A and B are shown apart, each in its own frame.
Chain A
Amino acid sequence: MNLAICLLLQDDHEITIEELETRYNTSVTKGLTSTFASQVLERDGPNELKPPKGTPEYVKFARQLAGGLQCLMWVAAVICFILPVFMVTSAFSLQLYLAITLISVVVVTGCFGYYQEFKSTNIIASFKNLVPQQAIVIRDGQKNQINAHQLVVGDLVEIKGGDRVPADIRIISGQACKVDNSSLTGESEPQSKTPECTHENPLETKNIAFFSTTCLEGVATGVIINTGDRTIIGRIASLASGVGNEKTPIAIEIEHFVDIIAGLAIFFGFTFFVVAMFIGYAFLEAMIFFMAIVVAYVPEGLLATVTVCLSLTAKRLARKNCVVKNLEAVETLGSTSVICSDKTGTLTQNRMTVAHLWFDNHVHAADTTEDQSGQSFDQSSETWRSLARVASLCNRATFRPDQEGVPIPKRLVVGDASETALLKFTELTVGNIMDYRNRFKKVVEVPFNSTNKFQLSIHELEDPLDLRYLLVMKGAPERILERCSTILIKGQELPLDEQWSEAFQTAYMDLGGLGERVLGFCHIYLNEKEFPRGYAFDPDEMNFTTSGLCFAGLISMIDPPRATVPDAVMKCRTAGIRVVMVTGDHPITARAIAANVGIISEGSETVEDIAQRKRIPVEQVNKRDARACVISGGQLKDMSSEELDDALRNHPEMVFARTSPQQKLIIVESCQRLGSIVAVTGDGVNDSPALKKADIGVAMGIAGSDAAKNAADMILLDDNFASIVTGVEQGRLIFDNLKKSIAYTLTKNIPELTPYLIYITVSVPLPLGCITILFIELATDIFPSVSLAYEKAESDIMHLKPRNPRQHRLVNEALAVYSYFQIGAIQSFAGFTDYFTAMAQEGWYPLLCVGLRSQWENVHLQDVQDSYGQEWTFSQRLYQEYTCYTVFFVSIEICQISDVLIRKTRRLSVFQQGFFRSVKTHPKHASLGIMYLNSQSYSITIYRVNSVSVSFQWWFVPVPYGILIFVYDEIRKLGVRRYPGSWWDQELYY
């Protein structure tokens, strides 16, 4: 892929300026002519990234209608339409009802899911920066400010510090121009841009500035060589669309579940088809039975339950700053086993901050927390005053105006990252730096350059009577030390002897080893006689003292980790989730941050560390001994995919440094090959392929580019890694709770099916009608099953390993078997007990019922005798049948109350979990009881849908069975808890 990009690139950076001028028909002094520019604009189109071709809305909607469960329901609906063709009786309208209900369930839940997706897409859209970008362009020899999207190839543009580079630009001239390439490469180090071609690879050369990167300081002019989608960033963005989307684990689970359901349905249907044929039904009748059983097996309410559960969690997550783009991603996060995290911005605060100081021969730690809540160091030393003065004065960075109300760490600054860090640091410690600088009037300054590696300035002193000049200098520590002859210790100038030199070296190495950028500071009071007031200092000639200075101290800076991250990483670790750092930064910095946040734990060594400790060559170290491993992009390039897999397998703690976006994709693929469910965080456009490839892509809401947000499944509004951990917790909880919900929902399938089976085989009057079934599935049972989504975790889910997607299924055999053949069976018995009771008490003894069907259903028989010799008309019998439906319905509901209680836990006793703990969190659950009481009045109102009011005592007939369910499940849980790993545990724990 890397190659492909390179081939696409031109040699614009290698040719001479003259060739460039002819190629683009432009001039490096006057720019394009306006007329030609408008022609080119017409030809190439505006300079903007075309939004990635989104999936058309109707396809999105159609996708909502075509999941595994949805397909099952479509099939059932079609069967319902076909069935009446074979049937002559009045059941026609019933089948039609059923089909319509099935279809409307699919469509309604589809709309719901679509709405959810639509809503989160809107949240994402609101992030888009609507302010049009401006650019300074030279056309017809005149400087103009125009909208950046009107720029064309060949335009001569000017960029200065603070601007976003408006297109890919070949630099013609520039002064101290530095560009932040982090949105392209993820590297936070500023890159200087100069007119010279330094590398044949356009990505590496210094004379090309890329679209969407930010110019930090300096000015430059350049000729635009690419615009819009033809820019590097545009091409990377289009790469993302080439990466296939992985199926979410929950989709796989649901497919697996549909397989089970379909298998069982066909098994049952076929069995009873054979039985029916055997009993002597006609083939066509048996076929109808077969299809009816298949339809009866479809859990109509499940789809609604799953959708509602997922969207509830999505809502909960949104409150915790995670916006979920597609509902299924919620669960994916829960099964995540590897998180590939960015460093800059996600793990760190994305701002250079002073971390350590070395003066008075001590390393002092500065406060690096985001809100300055940490401890400060001892500031009483005289040396500190001098060091602070140097740091304040030898600094060109300034605050942007009108920011008095903004907390100092958040203020905008003009200047490079280290100077910004120093400015903010001194502002915090010394206070009011702008004023302070004014008091020490600057006479001359020599800016930093790469040959000197230092920066100095000369100031008048605060005290008007003291006519000496003060020279302050900062720069690379070793260069500073070379120029010093004394060192400040506790405010006293001591000669810089061997001992102090060594102390300096140790401190320098220590700080450097922490991955921090170290600067040295020194000063000198210039001799009043040699340099009297008005002396003409020449910054180029440096006609003043630059050696024999007095060393003040070292200050080191780092982009510090966010405060919440170490905790979050620790949580991941206990939750069995591996955090892999993938960054564009230097290996040393990356490693230091990794160690800081706990990605590399204390005491973990890399192969190199072991080699150094044992004093043996790196090759002789057993790779398995090293827990940690830092791999740089360069090394990664030479590794085969097997080697990468090996590395990932052998070293639990991995850091990838200096990686390119394509390599991020390779790392994700490798993790997936090892069977992990991978979450990837990213913000740059360059991350979008990896985000898409990952099982769950997490984009940053603040720093993230639109492309990244488009490719991601989830967006962290606060860019905080810790939010991912919350997401994982919620994801795991919803997996557990979905399991409970599904177990609850599935159970009643059996008591809904057995009446039909008994009806076929024993020929009793039908105990339960299909409209009543739908009423259970879609009305009374939805709330209880959704209430299970609010259940608290049974144990500390963040202390368990992530689920193995191949072993821990959402719906496993144990769950289906326990629900169907045990709890479902008890419920069926409850239903039949109540049914036979209702029949017997109305005059139809159980034995009479057997084989009664043909008489019972004969429309022409108006005087069928019951056990007491009474004669019943057809309507009266039908009314009695509806009574049976209601009685059976009541039995199922009573048992389901018991069922919802037992489903609250899978392992703990309900008493341990707290009976009504979730009542507080969810008032709907509390209203459950009231709802059941209302069922009586329900049943009257639903007279039209085949139910009738029933005697109150029939409500009590199934109660023993309800108690049995509860007691039996408590026994089951007790066995599971007491004898883990036993036969009982294996067979009965779901």
Chain B
Amino acid sequence: MASTEDKSANKEITSSWKDSFYNPRTGEVMGRTASSWALILLFYLVFYCFLAGMFALTMWVMLLTLDDYVPKYRDRVPYPGLVIRPNALDMSFNKSDPLKYAEYVQHLETFLRRYNDTEQEKNEDCPRGEYFMQDDTEDMTKKACRFKRGFLSLCSGLSDTNFGYSEGKPCILLKMNRIIGLKPRGDPYINCTVKRDTPIQMQYFPSEGRIDKMYFPYYGKKAHESYVQPLVAVKLLLTKEDYNKELTVECRVEGTDLRNNDERDKFLGRVTFRIKVVE
């Protein structure tokens, strides 16, 4: 008794399921006739067009309020991050196998192309040791200070096209992130240390890893088109004992008010990378 009841109920369900997709008696597809579908779709078309219009309008108004040169808020980037080139935090290569380090060399070469003399000759030769302020100029386009590749001397890739990788004394380039309006106080310089008991020799270019204040402040992509960031190259003078070992190097921006010990952000004013050179 019960089972037959169930069966008839099941039948009803399946037929109603089929009907809900297409009901041949009323010509309904998914519970609506064609005209009903047309009407409701038209309604939604109008509705969403209106919404999209409103969205576009508000976006347009919002974009109008924005300044082309300076973002409205800069509170999310108060301090610059520190990054290295080649962009790899875990470097490992065989100094006698060019194929292994070609990638890094290639990367550095491309990166430094903007610092070629041909490019930099166009830029100003600014007075050293002071901010290059241009706030009061009428012109919105700002001039940029020259940073020649040659400043990096041994790590410029001019004299040694392999950036020291072939001799096992690799160059690492450090750059501070661009932040509009940033004016670091004091005399910023980069200092790198190896995290182990015995230090290794390092050479900084420009000397002492200094970052000159004339490269600040930055006026933004649109105003400061030809701007290049100041770089600091550090050449790790590894000796035989240091090969085949993984070295952890930490570099920090020192001598300024820029943060370099933030707990959350491990790249704020500092960078840690590992390097292993195989003989």
Contact = CB atoms under 8 A, between A and B. Distances in A.
Q: Do A and B assemble together?
A: yes
A97 interface: no
Contacts of B200: none
Contact of A987 (B43, B82, B224): B43
A860 B87 contact: yes
B221 A869 contact: yes
B62 A840 contact: yes
Interface string A957-974: 100110010000000000
Interface in B40-92: 40, 43-44, 47-48, 51-52, 54-55, 58-59, 62-63, 66, 69-74, 76-77, 80-83, 87, 89
B267 A875 contact: yes
B39 interface: yes
Best-surrounded residue of A842, A873, A964, A987 (most CB of chain B within 10 A): A873
B157 interface: no
A949 to B, nearest CB: 10
B81 A869 contact: no
Contact of B71 (A842, A876, A961): A842
A826 B222 CA distance: 35
Given A869-B221, A875-B268, A841 B178 contact: no
A170 B80 CA distance: 101
Contacts of A821: 44
Nearest to A826: B51
Contacts of B221: 865, 867-869
A895 to B, nearest CB: 13
Contact of B179 (A867, A871, A951, A961): A871
Nearest to B225: A869
A979 interface: no
Given A874-B267, A883-B76, A863 B44 contact: no
Given A841-B71, A842-B73, A983-B39, A870 B59 contact: no
Nearest to B268: A873
Contacts of B76: 842, 872, 876, 879-880, 883
Nearest to B66: A840
Contacts of A860: 87, 89
Interface string B3-37: 00000000000000000000000000000000000
Interface string B214-232: 0000101110100100000
A822 interface: yes
Given A825-B51, A829-B55, A837-B62, A875 B71 contact: no
A252 to B, nearest CB: 15
Contact of A836 (B43, B59, B224): B59
Contacts of B63: 840, 845-846
A861 B76 CA distance: 17
A836 B44 contact: no
Interface in A850-867: 860-863, 865-867
A841 B77 contact: no
Given A842-B71, A843-B71, A987-B43, A833 B265 contact: no
A840 B271 CA distance: 28
A765 to B, nearest CB: 13
Given A836-B59, A842-B76, A874-B267, A825 B48 contact: yes
Nearest to B62: A837
Interface in A395-454: none
B94 interface: no
A382 B36 CA distance: 82
A872 B55 contact: no
B265 A829 contact: no
A832 interface: yes
Contact of B178 (A870, A874, A960): A870
B203 interface: no
B196 interface: no
Interface in B155-189: 175, 177-180
B71 A870 contact: yes
Interface residues of B, number: 47
Contacts, number: 120
B264 interface: yes
B104 to A, nearest CB: 15
Given A860-B87, A870-B180, A951-B73, A960 B58 contact: yes
Contacts of B70: 868
A367 to B, nearest CB: 55
B267 A862 contact: yes
B59 A876 contact: no
A833 B71 contact: no
A873 B51 contact: no
A987 B44 CA distance: 12
Given A842-B72, A987-B43, A869 B66 contact: no
A871 B81 contact: yes
Given A869-B221, A871-B179, A846 B40 contact: no
B55 A833 contact: yes
A99 to B, nearest CB: 26
A866 B267 CA distance: 17
Contacts of B177: 862-863, 870-873
Nearest to B89: A860
A871 B71 contact: no
A872 B81 contact: yes
A840 B267 CA distance: 24
A876 B52 CA distance: 31
Contacts of B52: 829
Nearest to A871: B177
Given A862-B267, A863-B177, A987-B40, A869 B83 contact: no
Contacts of A870: 71, 74, 77, 177-180, 218, 220
A987 B47 CA distance: 14
Nearest to A872: B77
A623 B264 CA distance: 86
A735 to B, nearest CB: 24
B227 to A, nearest CB: 8
B79 to A, nearest CB: 9
Contacts of A880: 76
B5 to A, nearest CB: 12
B77 A876 contact: yes
A829 B77 contact: no
A961 B51 CA distance: 9
A512 B139 CA distance: 112
Interface string A788-830: 0000000000000000000000000000000001100110010
A875 B264 contact: yes
Interface in A154-212: none
A357 B220 CA distance: 106
A845 B63 CA distance: 8
A234 B179 CA distance: 87
A867 B71 CA distance: 9
Contacts of B62: 833, 836-837, 840, 957
Interface in A937-990: 951, 957, 960-961, 964, 983, 987
A862 B224 contact: no
Nearest to A833: B58
A841 B75 CA distance: 11
Nearest to A846: B59
A965 to B, nearest CB: 11
A871 B265 CA distance: 14
B112 to A, nearest CB: 16
Contact of A833 (B44, B59, B73): B59
15 contacts: A826-B51, A829-B52, A829-B55, A840-B66, A840-B72, A860-B87, A862-B271, A863-B83, A868-B220, A869-B180, A869-B227, A873-B177, A957-B58, A960-B58, A961-B54
Instruction: Identify the 6 closest CB pairs spanning chains A and B, nearest first.
Output: A869-B221, A873-B81, A871-B177, A875-B265, A843-B71, A841-B72
Interface of B: 39-40, 43-44, 47-48, 51-52, 54-55, 58-59, 62-63, 66, 69-74, 76-77, 80-83, 87, 89, 175, 177-180, 218, 220-222, 224, 227, 262, 264-268, 271
Given A868-B71, A870-B74, 10 more contacts: A825-B48, A840-B66, A863-B177, A868-B221, A870-B180, A872-B177, A875-B267, A879-B76, A961-B54, A983-B39
